[in-house]
Structure formats: C-alpha cells, structure tokens
C-alpha cells in the first residue's frame, strides 16, 4: 500500500503528531508527503452554520460525488462536518504539497453554500533535508479530536471505507464532478492581470522578483466594492464590527513576518498574528470566507521569511 510507513499515532485529542509518545492515543494521521501520487481534497464547511445547514451542504456535495458512478474516491466526514476526498494525482502537475483557501462558494447559491476548499498532495516527496517544507499531516477516519479549550469529542467518520484503496480516481475527475476549476491547483504560468492598475502594487519589502505584479485582491474585494470602508476623510468613531476588521486587515501589507523570533522590533510572528486573525470569527458578519481571504492577503502581500513560508499552513491550524 502507498500508505506504508506514512501513518503516525495521535495523542491527547490533537491533530498533529508531536514526535513523541503521550498519555492517551486518540487517533492516527497520514503524512501526505510519504504517499506517492496521493491527494486529499479538504472541503471545510463554515463552522458558523448550524448543524442542519452544514448537513444540507455536505449531503449535496456527497450526492454530486456519488452521482458519478465511475468515481472511486475515499470519503471521510471531518470533525466539524466537512469532507475529505482521497484521490490520485495522476499525471497532473500540481503546485504544492499544501494549497489552502483555493475555492469559495458563490454567495448567490440558492442553498447558501459556504465552504472553503484546500488540497493536500504528495507533490514534493518527503526527505530528511526538506521535511519541514514537505510535511503535511491529515487526520485519518476513526480518530477523535478536541478543539482548543473544549472538552467536546469530535470524530472523523469513514463514509465509504475506500480511502486506502490502491486505485483511486484522478483528482481531475473529482474537480470536474464538483465543477471546481482545476487550474487553481496546477503548476502553470499565471497570466498577468492588466485591469484595475490602482490595485497593482510592487513593494520593496515583499522582495518580488522578475518584476512580478501582485494584485491586491483583498482591497479589490472588500474596499473597492464598498466605498463606505474608505474613512480616510471621516473623524467619526466606529464599533468593532466587520467594517473595523476590513480596515485593519487591509493594513496587513508589506510586513516582515517570522515563524518565530527571540526579539522583535518592527517584525511580527505567526503566534501574535494568527491568534488575532482567528479571533475575528467571533465578530458578527465575519465568516470562514473572510478569514481565508485575510490569510491569503498575509501570504501574498507581505515578506515572509523562509521559515515562515515553510510553516505557514501548519501554524495557521495550530493557532
């Protein structure tokens, strides 16, 4: 099996193996980088929706997948009611082992679907020299986890017992069945966007090479779309609402970001930044889509040192 030597035990209801035995074994995780040609499509349904709404979204997605009789994929219901889809990379040239915040549903959907899509794949196989860059653990079915500061046990449920079969369907087929854009995960040259030049930035602190243009997608989506967020000419006070969040997050640009540091001056670390971003979900009007947009802005509009780039996704889930 491709999963040989790729599975590790989980302890104390955690999602990551910390490299040593702890008190209570509560599950298992698989390291994608040790599984040639394996990919997992992770559909994370908005946790702010109630259980019935999440079930409605999940059932529709499963119906789409099951309607394709030739599709052979492993299906696992995640701890918060999302879906892990185990599939095969095939001959597709994917970008990275870990690709997060790729797809978001349209708000105009009649079922008000709200979910994010990540893809984890064995693009760069594991090796000792680059293990920090390639490591990507995915919690396996029948594992039990707990959210931080919570005693509620959450289980990963095996929906069709196919996650570990040898002949999984191609990820391209999965994306076609769900009507997702495969180009989002392929390693292809992106065409430069020429419209909206006011939102194209080239800041020296980002260390952009080859005159690469970066589109300020966050400003385009949240600031340009609604001029009420431009308060540069206003002296009025505002409450801590979604409006405040947009204004604050729009300022996350051109920072030097570290994975960790002993002493900070003008820099910032993931610990401070990610805890602050994750706490925004408690504010009325803020959903998973907005949180994912903020993380994408942090990743693309700032100068992440090498260690921060390597640990971005694991630290996001940690905090």
Q: For residues 34 and 314, which has the higher predicted lDDT (pLDDT)?
A: 34
Instruction: Please choose, from the candidates 8, 41, 5, the residue with its C-alpha nearest in 3D space to the C-alpha of residue 27.
Output: 8
Largest CA distance in the chain: 64
Contact 100, 311 (CB under 8 A): no
Could you tell me the CA-to-CA distances from 263 to 11, 158, 206, 311, 318 in Å, in that order? 32, 45, 21, 19, 21
On the question of pLDDT at 208 being above 50, the answer is no
For residue 121, list its beta bridge partners: 39
pTM of the model: 0.59
Where in the chain do CATH 3.30.2250 domains reside? 7-184
- Chain segment 264-295, per-residue pLDDT in tens: 444 567 777 887 888 787 777 788 888 888 88
For residue 146, what are the contacts with CB-CB under 8 A and spacing of at least 6? 13, 152, 153, 154
| Domain 7-184 part of CATH 3.30.2250 | yes
On the question of pLDDT at 251 being above 80, the answer is no
The CA radius of gyration of the chain, in Å to the nearest whole number, is 20
Say how far apart CA 219 and CA 205 lie, in whole Å.
Answer: 18
Is the Cα dihedral 91, 78, 276, 106 positive or negative? positive
- Chain segment 230-239, per-residue pLDDT in tens: 444 444 444 5
From 25-39, 153-167, 252-266, the region with the lowest mean pLDDT: 252-266
pLDDT at residue number 207: 39
């Amino acid at each position: 099996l491709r999963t040989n030597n790729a599975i590790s035990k989980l302890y104390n209801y955690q999602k990551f193996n910390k490299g040593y035995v702890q008190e209570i074994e509560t599950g298992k995780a698989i390291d994608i980088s040790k599984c040639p040609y394996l990919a997992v499509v992770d559909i994370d349904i908005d946790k702010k929706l109630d259980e019935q709404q999440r079930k409605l979204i999940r059932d529709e997605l499963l119906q789409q997948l099951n309607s394709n009789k030739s599709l052979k994929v492993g299906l696992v219901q995640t701890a918060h009611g999302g879906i892990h889809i185990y599939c095969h990379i095939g001959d597709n040239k994917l970008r990275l082992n870990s690709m997060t915040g790729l797809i978001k549903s349209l708000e105009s959907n009649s079922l008000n679907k709200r979910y994010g899509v990540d893809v984890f794949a064995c693009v760069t196989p594991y090796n000792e020299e680059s293990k920090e860059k390639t490591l990507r653990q995915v919690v396996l079915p029948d594992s039990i986890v707990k959210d931080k500061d919570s005693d509620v046990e959450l289980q990963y449920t095996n929906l069709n017992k196919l996650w570990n079969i040898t002949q999984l369907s191609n990820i391209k087929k999965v994306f076609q069945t769900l009507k997702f854009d495969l180009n989002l995960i392929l390693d292809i040259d992106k065409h430069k966007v020429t419209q909206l030049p006011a939102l194209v930035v080239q800041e020296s602190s980002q260390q952009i090479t080859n005159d690469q243009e970066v589109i300020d997608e966050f400003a385009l989506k949240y600031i340009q779309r609604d001029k009420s967020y431009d308060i540069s000419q206003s002296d009025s006070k505002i409450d801590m609402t979604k409006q405040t969040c947009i204004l604050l997050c729009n300022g996350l640009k051109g920072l030097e970001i570290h994975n960790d540091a002993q002493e900070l001056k003008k820099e910032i670390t993931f610990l401070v930044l990610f805890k602050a971003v994750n706490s925004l979900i408690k504010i009325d009007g803020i959903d998973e889509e907005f949180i994912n947009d903020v993380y994408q802005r942090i990743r693309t509009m700032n100068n992440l040192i090498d260690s921060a780039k390597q640990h971005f996704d694991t630290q996001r889930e940690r905090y």
